[in-house]
Amino acid sequence: MARVLEVRDLRVEFRSRGKRVRAVNGVSFHLDDGETLGLVGESGCGKSVTALSIMRLIPRPPGRIVEGEAEFEGRDLLALSDDEIRRVRGNSIAMVFQDPMTSLNPVLSVGRQIGEALRVHRGMGRLAARKRTIELLEQVGIPSARQRVDDYPHQFSGGMRQRVMIAMALSCEPRVLIADEPTTALDVTIQAQILELLKRLQGELGMAMILITHDLGVMAGVADRVCVMYAGYIVESAAVDEAFKLPRHPYTLGLHRSLPNLVRGPRQRLVPIEGLPPDLANPQPGCPFQPRCQFRLDRCANENPDLEEVTPLHAIACWVDVTGGDRHTGQPRHPGVAVAG
């Protein structure tokens, strides 16, 4: 399978009230042609900042891409000029944002907004762009697309606005689609429809997709591989089935235990992850998760482990593999702690 995107050692920071906030800390991952990679983690862990950095949409100031590479079609996206990245953005790589109401321009019709990408990137005339826009609206399931092409965003429901955003993102048939929390603020039935739409269009167009979410259920149903993020780091990376059936990092295990699970029985109590995420403006030495971790060792307070494979295609950034003990010494995990089923 061909490699379509490779991100290496991405580091992003923001200046806030005289402090430096390290939002992304050396993130590396790859995306293969036609696959779906999930980025999952709680709010503020760096998922969206990672995606916006790839698209070069980090506001400057206060944000800054400190270092790293994002190789796409033989070029480093982070090294391109502003004109060069504009030719890639919305054309070869497109993004669906989490709030369509604030992402769509309220004073322009949806047809004009979708058609703009076709005219800029594909050189279409006005009539050709309008015809293609109607086809795209029909493709994403907008009823009476020919009549609604001249409507404005406020005339659509939340689910329909998200469909409009998907039509806009797919207008130039990108090789990579980044979907940033595409089902946020939608009710459950509409969420399922949007996810099914994304999966169907991905199959039809053969594109790769990065799906960003904090919803493990969404991730399990859509992604092929998953990267779990915490405090700006990737702490676990694995095939989605293995990551959900056999989590190896304490944080991933904590996410599992904090979710309802019918298999564990109706009386099974949820186990929350105690404590709060770290202050990224005042990073402490050692592993950022260790103050909340029931598996922590003495070394965790001073040494932050790199992301390393524990089995082929399954990597964790932890001194302890919760399924087997210390990653390097093989000593058993803490007694009385069982992996959730």
Answer yes or no: is pLDDT of 47 > 90: yes
Predicted confidence at residue 258, as pLDDT, reads 81
11-23: pLDDT as tens digits? 999 998 889 999 9
DSSP codes joined into one string, 95-140: EE-S-HHHHS-TTS-HHHHHHHHHHHHH---HHHHHHHHHHHHHHT
Two tokens, residue 240: 């989605």
**3-state secondary structure at position 275:** coil
| pLDDT higher at 260 or 24 | 24
Q: How many CB atoms lie within 10 A of CB 284?
A: 13
- As a whole number, mean pLDDT of residues 107-127 equals 94
Burial class (CB in 10 A: 0-12, 13-18, 19+), 60: exposed
Comparing CA positions, the residue from 3, 171, 28, 191 lying closest to residue 98 is 191
Beta strands (DSSP E) in the chain are 3-16, 19-32, 36-40, 63-72, 75-76, 93-96, 176-180, 208-213, 225-230, 233-239, 308-311, 314-316, 320-321, 325-326
Predicted confidence at residue 251, as pLDDT, reads 95
Predicted confidence at residue 262, as pLDDT, reads 55
Two tokens, residue 242: 């293995």
Predicted confidence at residue 336, as pLDDT, reads 35
Does the pTM of the predicted model rise above 0.85? yes
| pLDDT higher at 51 or 185 | 51
- As a whole number, mean pLDDT of residues 178-203 equals 88
287-335: pLDDT as tens digits? 999 999 999 999 999 999 999 999 998 999 999 999 875 665 545 444 3
Predicted confidence at residue 270, as pLDDT, reads 77
Answer yes or no: is pLDDT of 188 > 90: no
48-103: pLDDT as tens digits? 999 999 999 999 889 999 999 999 999 999 999 999 999 999 999 999 988 777 88
Per-residue b or e along 150-159, where b marks 16 or more CB atoms closer than 10 Å to that residue's CB:
ebbbeebebb
Predicted confidence at residue 134, as pLDDT, reads 96
Contact 48, 23 (CB under 8 A): no
